[in-house]
Amino acid sequence: MLKINDVSNTGFIKKLLPPIIFSIMATISIFLYSDKSIVVYFINAIILAIIVFFLNEKFSLNAKNISVVDLRINAVFKYMGLIVALWAIYLLTYYPGLMTYDSYSQFKQAINMDLSDWHPATHTILISLLIKIWYSPAVIASFNIVLMALACGYFAYTLEKFGFNRLIIWIWVLFIAIIPVNGFMVVTLWKDITFSAGMLYLVLITLNIYLTDGKWLDNKLNITFFIIATFITLFSRHNGLYNLILFFPILIFCFKNKYKTIIFIAIFTFTSYFIITVPVYKVLAVKPVVEGEKYSVFLKIIDQTLKNGTNISDDQKKYFNSIMPLKEWEKPCSPYCADSIKNAVYIHGSKFLENKNEFYENFFSLVKSNPRVALKAYLNITSMIWSFNRGNVVIPQSENNKSSIKQFNLKNENVFYTKSYFPNFKKVLDMDIIRKNILFRPVLSTLLLIFSMLILIKNYDFKIIVVFSLVFINQFFIMFTIPAQDFRYLYINFLTSGIAIVLAFYKKANTKYH
């Protein structure tokens, strides 16, 4: 417990840095584009942060002896069981699971095995295998529920193993299970849910490696678990590859005592990835997709700058007209979503991909001559990441669209129509207060994660950052590739912020590993 009289002024100020930094960041995120007083925001944010900080000082727990290799499956299933049961209620409320355009598109590919890598073909093959067992979207939602609940159960077991109070663990488990954000997400048929589960497993694995100073990797079963988690992340969303390319060097740097094991896992993972995505994809006749998806942010900045810029040269107009006629660029569209402009450019052949150097040269020339307009365009398209009140964040819908089901001509279309077994509960969940609340703004999760990490650094050491490094690597890539304000892209931030908050109330002691 913190006693002000027992510490120096410098030490006390150092301890207050986490809430102060959090408050400044939160204030900036809320205040931008707001008409209210910045002073009010700052006072509210810093009061909340300091309260949480002092609670952390008072109620932090210490570790006990830990078994590196002891994995009690029954303990994991104990926590997992409650989560599965409560998420099953969400599934029955939105039976057979929620779907969007992407969901129908991938389901259609899975039925016909007409594979395109627009959605990772490996994930589509997984869906194909699942629907052979049970031809219903519910089988995919059930798979996601089990996969995500297993990760949450594993974390709860980790807390138990490290000496957390059982009551605190069960409160966390209940919170994770009943909060609507998770309930909506796990019953929505997006590859991003599987991807987020894979990322969550890797965060929990890194946590165990950190808390045992690498000894967790001495067990072969743990290494196998690690590899499976990398596969889930790699093969369910395309940016999983880039995340891991940056993640493994960080892991090697932080745990030099286990560099051989980590390098082995990395080599096995990437070798398997390239074997599957090159020769195996060729055998399966997987159609490649246009590479331009990663240029969404660039195209949106160009779009908004051409519309609103005042210093555009004739050469710039000529170049961008060669990509797509200027009259197409001039069509009105939302400043917060790149999908329409990205798709329009694709329709015109994505010619800019033929000479990327020329594209970048003209892009940066346009930005340089219209810096304020370009910056505003960037802040708008990425507003979900940093702002509480700009743009509308896309969340799971309340029922499946019948016209989309007919559009894709899906077999046994009645299987896809929403049928709620708990209609009254559905009415509650469909209220704006549930669906349009602040929890669906990823910036909140990110700020809470940063705040918790600052406390964790104080309670542990700077090396604790490695545990959540993968989450920030993912966010880094999303900042340059985000096509729309879609919560699913940063769902992992929400999941891990809850973990970081719990860990912030645990102080590492002189722990012994056996």
CA nearest to 138, candidates 182, 105, 91, 178: 91
Confidence (pLDDT) at 3: 31
CA of 394: how far to CAs of 280, 332, 381, 391, in Å?
Answer: 35, 20, 13, 9
Q: Contact, 505 vs 60, CB < 8 A?
A: yes
- pTM, two decimals, is 0.88
Q: Which residues contact 208 (CB under 8 A, 6 or more apart)?
A: 158, 216, 222
Q: Is the peptide bond before 396 cis (omega within 30 degrees of 0)?
A: no
Distance CA 514, CA 512 (A): 7
Token pair recorded at residue 285: 């006749």
Q: Could you tell me the residue ranges of all domains in the chain?
A: 4-59, 73-288+409-507, 291-381
Distance CA 14, CA 30 (A): 25
DSSP string, 208-277: HHHHTTTGGGGSHHHHHHHHHHHHHHHTTSTHHHHHHHHHHHHHHHHTGGGHHHHHHHHHHHHHHHHHII
Token pair recorded at residue 259: 């560099």
Distance CA 495, CA 500 (A): 9
Distance CA 88, CA 376 (A): 43
| Tally of CB atoms within 10 A around 331 | 11
CA nearest to 444, candidates 147, 151, 181, 178: 181
Distance CA 473, CA 244 (A): 9
Distance CA 460, CA 162 (A): 14
Q: What type of residue is 352?
A: F
Residue 403 has φ and ψ, to the nearest 5°, of -65, -35
Confidence (pLDDT) at 385: 87
Confidence (pLDDT) at 19: 55
Confidence (pLDDT) at 313: 92
Give how far the C-alpha of residue 348 lies from the chain's centroid of Cα atoms, to the nearest Å: 31
Confidence (pLDDT) at 8: 39
pLDDT tens digits for the chain (514 residues)? 333 233 334 444 455 555 556 555 555 555 444 444 445 545 555 565 565 555 555 545 554 555 554 557 788 899 999 999 999 999 999 999 999 888 988 999 999 888 888 889 999 999 999 999 999 999 999 999 999 999 999 999 988 887 777 888 899 999 999 999 999 999 999 999 999 999 999 999 999 999 888 999 999 999 999 999 999 999 999 999 999 999 999 999 999 999 999 999 999 999 999 999 999 999 999 988 766 677 889 999 999 999 998 889 999 999 999 888 988 888 888 888 888 887 777 767 677 778 889 999 999 999 999 999 999 999 999 888 888 777 777 777 777 877 878 888 888 888 888 899 999 999 998 888 888 888 888 888 888 888 888 888 877 888 999 999 999 999 999 998 888 888 999 999 999 998 998 888 776 554 444 4
